[in-house]
Structures are given as C-alpha cells and as structure tokens.
Amino acid sequence: MREAILKFLRCPACKGNLLTLNRGLVDNIEIRGGEITCGRCAAVYKIEDGIIDFLNNADERIMRERRAMDAEEYITDASGNKYRITEATIEKFKDKFLAMPQGDRSYFFKRGGSFQSITEASDRFYSALENLRLTGREKILEIGASFSFASSKFAKIGCSAVALDIGNYLKVSSLFVKNAYYDRVFSDMHNIPFQDNTFDIVFGAAVLHHSNSLKEVFSEIHRVLKTGGRVMLINEPSRGIFERVHPVFEEMEKKGYGDISYTIPDWLRSARRGGFKKSKIEFLSLADDYITRHKNRDTPDNFKLRLARFFQNHRGIEKILLAILILPRLLFRQKSWRLSAYK
C-alpha cells in the first residue's frame, strides 16, 4: 500500500474514517508490512505483502469461500507439479503472469492449463477496456481482481487503481506493481472499505455472481461510486429464463464456493434496487468469442470457424443477426454479455 490511499479508506467494522498507519516493512515501491488501526473502534487491519487485509470479522459465508479458494490456489505445470502462491512461485512463473491476459501460447494458457480461461476471455477484456475509454485520470476499483492484471492495465494507462479480492492470487500483484503502481486490499465486496463517492469506475470480471445478495453488492458499489460514475461487469455467468440451473453450480456449492446462477432480469432488477437508475446489457459478438476460444485450442480450420470469420469481416451482417437473436439468448442462453450501470 501507499500512504495516499489512507484518506479514502473506511473501517469496515464501524464505518468510521479515522484510520492511522503503523509502518512496518517499507521497500522502494510501497509499504509492504505494518498495520492500520481504526481510531474509532480500535479494529486492527494487517498489511502483508503490500496488501491491506480487511477480512477480519468478515461474514462466515465469505470466509468459507476464501477457504475453498485457498485449497485450489496453485499453478500446475505441464508435468502436473502444483505450486502454491508463494514468492518463489511468483518469481518462477513471472513471464506467464506478465503475459496475462492474452498469454504467450505456452502450456499454461492452452486447454487444461491453469490460465486457459483467462486467455479465452482476453478479447472480452480488451473490448471492455476499449469501451471504458479511459483517459488516465480515473480512479478505478476492481472487485474480484484475482491476479489483478486488469488493475495493472488500468495503472499503466495512468489511472489510480485499487484491486480487491478475497483470495491469495492477489499476491501476484507484487509483480505487476513494479511496472505501474496500484493498491490492493483483501475485502468482502458487500462491505467495501472505502468512503462514499470515491471512484469513477468500478470494474468486475466474473465476480458478482459469487454474492447471494446482488442487490446488496450493487448498493455498496453505488455508494463508493462518484455521481456520474460507472460500474462495468464482464464474464458473469447467467442463465436463460427458460434454462435450468447448470449442475456445476451445485458442485461449486458443495466445495464451499458461493456461485449463483442469475438470469439477466435478475441482474437488471438487482442493479435498480441497488440504486442504479440507468443500466444497460450488451450482448457481445458470438463470432469473436468462438474464434478466440478455438484459436487458443489450435482447432483445425472447419466450416464453423470459416463462418465465424466471415461474420467478423462483415460486422453489419453479424449485428443484424445478433439483434434477431437477443430474445432467444435472453430466454435460453446468453453466452457473452456485459452490464454497465451509471450513478
């Protein structure tokens, strides 16, 4: 962390903003260790690896999910060796992390590799980045940041970013902050440790569906956004109105994960109830998605791929088809979509 973040923080326990810093380990980039104390309720939040930990006293549901994540947080190499997220692992796979999200075409980013899903969603991330039209002056909060490559990209553009997550993948940020600095916090997204009206943008990829109360998260995001601010969510799963809940959600629940399958109307209703008067859903190109996925899997050229490429080269035709497909997608399956809501 850097000291400048202090004046925006809010104690998640008492909601007060009298936080004081006790410096521990400091390096040439940031404060790596120490603690933050609340002057109002005396809560103490530890700083470790540069990350402020606001998870003490978090809800049991959150801690259960954190434990489930912790059990699976490792990188697997081509020989099947598993590496927990330690300083040595971060150093060993440095080039892989720095190649996120598009990857370097190595095993890790291919089918079955630890970062397959990141590569296969990389086009969606860059499309979101383009859509955000950042000038470099924005203050951005990334929720569910995971390795936090997105925050790293925001910081490189010049934005002041904060990456928030509950899992240890966030520790990989130590690598990214050497190039462009941003702050990181461990925190529950239902109780964001920032004061009202702090951010211009809240960004999240595949994170809000972990909440069993979407309305509550939206209202918390609404609170920390400035007037005119925007929340953008990408890669969230959703279910068609007539589609049954995929069995994977039950498996995830057994493991301790909190994933929930919401429909598009659920998403929009929750945003509205959370205080957002204006929100929009965009259904994204199916051809782009298909091509990105199959390029990564080195699928030999076939009719479907040629058709997808035809649509990529004839955007007008794809747009008309996508418009016709909106209702069927809403009813049965959305695939790629994103939500934006404005305060």
Q: How far is the CB of 141 from Zn ion (least distance, A)?
A: 20
Rg of the chain over Cα atoms, rounded to whole angstroms, equals 20
Shortest Å distance, C-beta 162 to Zn ion: 19
Calpha distance 133→324 (Å, rounded)? 28
Distance between CA atoms of residues 4 and 142, nearest Å: 18
Range in contact with Zn ion (rule: CB under 5 A) among 40-48, 181-189, 249-257, 307-315: 40-48
**Is the dihedral angle over the CA atoms 22, 183, 195, 142 positive or is it negative?**
negative
Smallest separation (angstroms) from Zn ion to the CB of 118: 36
Cβ-based neighbour number of residue 71 at 10 Å? 10
Cβ nearer to Zn ion, comparing 1 with 38: 38
Least separation in angstroms between residue 51's CB and Zn ion is 19
Query: Exactly one of 5, 36, 43, 185 binds Zn ion (CB under 5 A); which one?
Result: 43
Please state, in angstroms and rounded to a whole number, the distance separating the CA atoms of residues 38 and 12. Answer: 10
Q: How far is the CB of 65 from Zn ion (least distance, A)?
A: 24
Is residue 38 involved in binding Zn ion (CB under 5 A)? yes
Binding residues for Zn ion, total number by CB under 5 A: 8
Give the count of beta carbons closer than 10 Å to the beta carbon of residue 303. Answer: 7
For residue 11, give the DSSP letter.
-
Q: CA–CA separation, 228 vs 215, rounded Å?
A: 19
Residue 39 CB, nearest distance to Zn ion (Å)? 8
User: Closer CB to Zn ion, residue 40 or residue 272?
Assistant: 40
Q: Which is nearer to Zn ion, 151 or 191 (CB)?
A: 191
Least Cβ distance, residue 194 to Zn ion (angstroms): 14
Given a contact cutoff of 8 angstroms between Cβ atoms, the answer to whether 190 and 213 are in contact is yes
Residues of span 7-36 touching Zn ion by CB under 5 A: 11, 13-14, 16
Question: 80 Cβ partners below 8 Å, 6+ apart?
Answer: none
Contact 258, 211 (CB under 8 A): yes
Is residue 6 within the footprint of Zn ion (CB under 5 A)? no
Q: Which of 32, 40, 226, 293 binds Zn ion (CB under 5 A)?
A: 40
**Span near Zn ion by CB under 5 A; candidates 4-12, 120-128, 141-149, 313-321:** 4-12
Q: Considering the complex, state which of residue 13 and residue 305 has its C-beta at the smaller distance from Zn ion.
A: 13
User: Which residue among 25, 26, 29, 41 contacts Zn ion (CB under 5 A)?
Assistant: 41
CB 109 within 8 A of CB 103: yes
Please identify, using beta-carbon distances, which residue of 29 and 41 lies nearer to Zn ion.
41
Residue with smaller CB distance to Zn ion, 159 or 224: 224
The answer to whether 263 and 241 have CB atoms below 8 angstroms apart is: yes
Task: Dig out the tokens for 16 from the structure.
Answer: 């007060």
Q: Rounded to the nearest whole angstrom, what is the least distance from the CB of residue 18 to Zn ion in the complex?
A: 8
Task: Tell me the closest approach of the beta carbon of residue 43 to Zn ion, in angstroms.
Answer: 5
Residue 88 touches Zn ion, criterion: CB under 5 A? no
Nearest to 74 by CA among 185, 176, 167, 209: 167
Cα angle value 260/264/269 (rounded, 5°) = 90
| Beta-sheet pairing, 225-234 with 199-205 | parallel
Q: Which of residues 210-249 bind Zn ion (CB under 5 A)?
A: none
Which spans of this chain sit near Zn ion (rule: CB under 5 A)? 11, 13-14, 16, 38, 40-41, 43
